[in-house]
Amino acid sequence: MSEAPRPLCDYQGYDYQGRFWTGREYEDAVERIALGKLLPDRGGRLVEIGAGYGRLADLYEGYDRVVLVDPAESQLREAQRRLGRGGRYVYVVGDAYRLPLSTNAFDLALTVRVLHHLSDVPAGFREIHRILRPQGRYVLEYANKRNLKEVLRYLIRRSKRDPFSSQPVEYAPLHFNFHPSYIERGLREARFSVETALAVSSLRLNLFKRVLPGWLLVRADGFLQSPTAPLRLAPSMFLLARAEKEGPASKGLFRCPECGHEELEETGHSLHCSPCGRSWPIEDGLYIFVA
């Protein structure tokens, strides 16, 4: 019997590109700089979990197969319109806690602006470790509760949220900030080893945006990402981790999220799981693995 589903934060029907990212050109640019430093140039299979409308997909051109996973069908429809159907891209409506993807199937996994929506980050880490091939890489971003601004606000008593506590803080429903030690411990327990860390968006202050040109902020942030990473004081931290595991790589792509069976049969417009009897629809190029 499958476990009860955990709550998900999705952006179904929301104009995430137009409403959220308008005015955040600095954040988009510095995240791209960080990913340019962390992503291996080429590889076989890449999966981005919480891919939304495919904002970062142009960075994955060196990969043979790119799987974009998101719980919101409307976001993946937008990604499909931007990137095209078929070809290297596979669009999957799925749950980060029960990924409908085969074990040992991917060379690289990414979660950018995703972990802060997970109430059970360790469970998410375990799933990502499962789908990665031995020594596969995982690039992740997390919202850092111990960032410099929050530390100063706490010290001068402008905020009651303790940035030094190791426990996550839920500042809005299904919106979490994390202490670096919490994330690093979760990765170790899921059998990941961290290879590289970057401090990103360190200059994310309205004052800086008002008085300094955008290109200067972006260039300065890119310069600071590596040398300031050990301080762990940026509001956004990027990590590159390696999956410590053994075993053969999988040739398959999909796994039944209901029972875990990894040999699904494509029958017309669905993928059928013989052991549990579930059929998962394929609708206009989207593989749908949620009820």
- Does the pLDDT at position 261 exceed 80? yes
What does the alpha-carbon distance between residue 109 and residue 266 come to, in Å, rounded to a whole number? 25
222-250: average pLDDT: 97
4: pLDDT confidence band, cut at 50, 70 and 90?
Answer: low
Cβ of 225: how many Cβ atoms within 10 Å? 23
* pTM score of the predicted model: 0.95
Are the C-beta atoms of residues 251 and 106 closer than 8 Å to each other? no
Q: What is the pLDDT of residues 116-156, one digit of tens each?
A: 999 999 999 999 999 999 999 999 999 999 999 999 999 99
Distance in angstroms (rounded) separating the CA atoms of residues 78 and 70: 12
Report yes or no: 76 and 91 within 8 Å, Cβ to Cβ: yes
Walk me through the domains of the chain, giving residue ranges and CATH numbers: 16-244 (3.40.50.150)
* Mean pLDDT score of the chain: 95
Average pLDDT over residues 4-29: 91
pLDDT tops 60 at residue 87 = yes
Confidence at residue 1, expressed as pLDDT on a 0 to 100 scale: 45
pLDDT digit string (tens) for 190-219? 999 999 999 999 999 989 999 999 999 999
How many CB atoms sit inside 10 A of residue 223's CB?
Answer: 11
Give the whole-angstrom CA distance, residue 180 versus residue 197.
11
CA-based end-to-end distance of the chain: 16
At residue 3, the pLDDT reads 63
Q: What percent of the chain has pLDDT over 90?
A: 92
